[in-house]
Structure 1
Amino acid sequence: MKLEKIYSPIKEELGRIEDELRSQLLSSKDKFILEVNRYLLGSAGKRLRPSLVLLSAKTNNHWDEKVIPVSVALELIHTASLVHDDVLDEADLRRKRTTMNTRWGNEPAVLTGDYLYFKAFSILSQLGVQKISSVVSFAAEMMCEGEIIQTCKTYKLNLSEEDYLEIIRKKTASLMAASCEVGAILSESHPSVQKALANYGLNFGMAFQIIDDCLDLVSPPDKMGKSTYKDFAQGKMTLPLIYLVRRLTKEDGKRINDLFHKDRQEIITLLREYEVVGQSWQRAKEYLDRAKEKLKVLENSQAKEALSLLSDYLLESLVARVEKYQIASALNSSQSDLSYRGNA
């Protein structure tokens, strides 16, 4: 399944979002800002968050033109977070291109990230929809909180799975939940549908980050289009590593203590030996199953089908990359539902 086919119900609207992104980013009269923004426009990703907004909005028959600028604002927030992440991670590659911090230095990169955040919230403020601003502001706050928590817990070999899940819920899943929720709000969906779509986005976002963390460990940069192995090199405990530490026996105590001193091939050998990528895959699958379960309250539509297919696409992307690993048996994990706001 190709992403273009999944996006087919929103192809026209995605084109309009691209036009509006260009309009917003090329509105400055400063030559350097224009140069930087043109560079950012040339590094377009999957536009996943705008797509979640659009698809969620299209699950109902009511269309609001505000969906386009709101989608643009969410993409700007996401882009800002990537620019800041690359500075923190000292990354040199993003979307198969040199990162801003490598090309222009940390200070311009940090300031550009700030600029994009404020540009996004300026767009939202001009729309004058308080509920939308509140949902997006909350998500941005959670993103920052998640990054702070993760930064404070680097090189913590005893990081629990629960702590890891809290981090990714805040830093990644919260914005995807917000993307789905604002789409539902703007389409005037029933409150129960708004909640269901927000929880779809949250569970989808959890799976997305788990899969991304797996790929960071096992995929070469030329396949990922960005710097890989950076999280591990900087002591960030991701789910495969948490499972690996849990699986290593007491006799392997030295292997645990030396974990962050091992080279990439040694880590891949351990991942294969203990099948922890398979365990992580299963955890991601559980979240995607929950995400699809949330869609059951929606009436049938092309948009609903696309959201379901998007979950399948995400899981298949990991399987395709790590087919050399045997998928482990199902984990005995809690089936309790996530709360978008309640656990924040």
Structure 2
Amino acid sequence: MKVLVTGGAGFIGSYYVRQLLGGHYPAFAGAEVVVLDKLTYAGNTANLAEFSTDPRLRVVRGDVRDPELLAEWMPGTDVVVHFAAESHVDRSISGASDFVLTNVVGTDTLLQAALAAGVSRFVHVSTDEVYGSIDEGSWSEGQPLEPNSPYSASKAGSDLLARAYHRTHGLPVCVTRCSNNYGPYQHPEKMIPLFVTNLLDGRKVPLYGDGKNVRDWLHVADHCRGIQLVAESGEPGEVYNIGGGTELTNAELTAMLLEATGSDWSMVLPVTDRKGHDRRYSLRYDKISRDLGYAPRVGLEEGLAETVRWYRENRSWWQPLKSHEGAFA
């Protein structure tokens, strides 16, 4: 079996690759894994260091928008797991072009290459942000897409392209939409690692607006298990929400991170709210639970403690990234 993982040197993609090569997904035991990653600021080959000499792994530096590169590496692929995306909302507000090019054009190029190669399974990894904001209740997979940021709009476009390739060409595509991920190896531009690393360095953390925006938190291990269930048994053409089942306001999460690092509220710096900041995200994930047996296993307290410990013990991984802080502060 050959599995092509785009964005496999990023946070979630690299976790998936490490789990696959580490034997945690028996259905893919012995698979050859090709990681295709542009290795932008968010991609890091150090995330795959423990398998750098494994003959089952090939890391190819390249862009999913490159049809010639895909024509070289896609043939013989059984499963594509498509993580590659520009994903930081603040960056998309500053400039949307890279998001449209990578997330929309890149996905289209990849889908076309998979179709030409006769790939038997294509998992397109997306986000709950495509649904927009919800004041009460939770989104099901049939919710209309109402994205509010350039990032989420570009992901919604890629989701619809994936659906269209299934409906038009019969390409066996499944789409997954997850809630907010956290865990080790996450780039310190995102909230949890930014706050943890700042606090470990005795620096204040920026809290948007009134801190009452609500997010559902999902450990990367649970997310990747959900993706693998879809890769193995998902119904082509279907969308599967993958949630963590723990909703917190940003202020509540901040309080947990302050406690975990031995800090207090004097370390919190209120900042002007982000443009178009969605108030609340909430996913229903009963479909993947019912149909594929998914359930989150990592509780938030346990997961946060593990994550804080990892950043505390792995300064050599994140300090070089933060030395370029001007790019994402």
Q: TM-score range by the shorter chain?
A: 0.3 to 0.5
Choose between structure 1 and 2: higher strand proportion. 2
User: Which protein is bigger by CA-based radius of gyration?
Assistant: 1
Q: Tell me the TM-score normalized by structure 1.
A: 0.32
